[in-house]
Chains A and B, each alone.
Chain A
Amino acid sequence: MFQVRWKAAAPKLIERDAKALARRWKDRPAALRAIAEAVEGQSLPLLHAAPAYAAATEPQAGFFYLEQAKAMADFADLVASLAVRTRRAAPPLRSWTPELQQVQDRVIAAFQPPRSIDQHSDFIAINAQLKLARELDSGGLPAGALYTWLDAVQQFGTLEVQDPDEATRAKLGEQLAAARAELGAARRDDSIALLFVQRAEVRAGQGEWTRVRAIVEHVLPAYRAAMEGRPAGQRTPREEVRITLVRWPYT
């Protein structure tokens, strides 16, 4: 039953993905493109993972990932269809490989006891985001890769920062307001940075101040550096063996 449903759905999803990759984003906000790309980029990996889950566990798991693959494609279509345009200059989108590698190196270095035990699930989530960002980056989805990389920066930053005291919270609020004003006046389309500012504003309203702090102190500076094309630091060439043990696609 699962195989029949999967075989019926797969060609349609593959065709939809090809059409999605050919979308034109001229005069569309980078944030819109970023969200659509980050979601669309997960559709086919989930589709192709579904039969393996069905075989290894139970058909229900296969159906779950198949339906999730469809939901991702549906949501990407919805995002792309929103009537939002911009007249600002497009941000310089490129491969974010150096930036991704830099965060990955820092995450690996930080993965030491007791944090590797106490915050194990947080590290898994960060690595899942970095994996997705690399896939988007190599798949020619640079806005989605930038957005997902910055999300990993936020998640890792949240592990690194202290919960701010009242005075620091007030200062963070001022920094957020200043960032919003700066982005509003910019000639460049910085809507991806604005997305994180909005995210921080919402989190501040919920009292999630470590997340706010991570966005202000880690994400926004990382975004600015990326836009300036600042080299993310030289890596020493070395022999490298990468072993990836994967069970779930993005968890």
Chain B
Amino acid sequence: MLLATLLLFAAAEPPAARLAAELDRSEHAFAQNESKDEQWVQLKPRIQAVLDRARRALVGKQLWAALEDLGKTGASWIRR
């Protein structure tokens, strides 16, 4: 019951606020990863750029642009 209530509450939360929270989570996880793996080191600046872009889009109330960039931070398709 409590879980269902929490899920309902989360679903009703304004999308911009939820995206901001998810972006905070992504940025935190990104900052925590101090791996020296060569591929990770190469990818880091690109992921950082996408995170920064998502933040700018969110501040500019460009919800769709922020949402797609948030998705790209967890995927390999960060070229666009």
B-binding residues in A (CB < 8 A): 31-32, 35, 39, 42, 68, 71-72, 74-75, 78-79, 81-84, 125, 128, 151, 154-155, 191, 194-195, 198-199, 201-202, 205-206, 250-251
Contact = CB atoms under 8 A, between A and B. Distances in A.
A79 B71 contact: yes
A136 B61 CA distance: 29
Contacts of B65: 195, 198-199, 201-202
A125 B80 CA distance: 9
A75 B74 contact: yes
29 contacts: A32-B67, A35-B64, A35-B68, A68-B75, A72-B74, A74-B74, A75-B71, A75-B74, A78-B18, A79-B67, A83-B13, A83-B18, A84-B15, A125-B79, A151-B80, A154-B80, A194-B64, A195-B65, A198-B57, A198-B62, A198-B63, A199-B64, A201-B60, A201-B65, A202-B53, A202-B62, A205-B60, A206-B53, A251-B77
Interface in B18-43: 18-19, 22
A210 to B, nearest CB: 13
The contact size tier of chain B is 20 to 34
Given A202-B57, A202-B62, A205-B56, A195 B15 contact: no
A73 B19 CA distance: 17
Contacts of A198: 57, 62-65
Contacts of A83: 11-15, 18
B80 A191 contact: no
A81 B6 CA distance: 13
Interface of B: 10-15, 18-19, 22, 53, 56-57, 60, 62-65, 67-68, 70-71, 74-77, 79-80
Nearest to A72: B75
B62 A68 contact: no
A116 to B, nearest CB: 18
A251 B76 CA distance: 8
B21 to A, nearest CB: 11
Contact of B76 (A31, A79, A250): A250
B68 to A, nearest CB: 6
B52 to A, nearest CB: 9
Nearest to A74: B74
B11 A78 contact: no
Given A72-B75, A198-B65, A202-B60, A81 B10 contact: yes
A250 B18 contact: no
Nearest to B12: A83
Contact of A195 (B22, B64, B75): B64
Given A68-B75, A83-B15, A250-B77, A31 B56 contact: no
B12 A39 contact: no
Given A39-B75, A83-B12, A198-B63, 16 more contacts: A68-B74, A78-B22, A79-B67, A79-B71, A81-B10, A84-B63, A155-B79, A155-B80, A191-B64, A195-B65, A198-B64, A201-B60, A201-B62, A202-B57, A202-B60, A251-B76
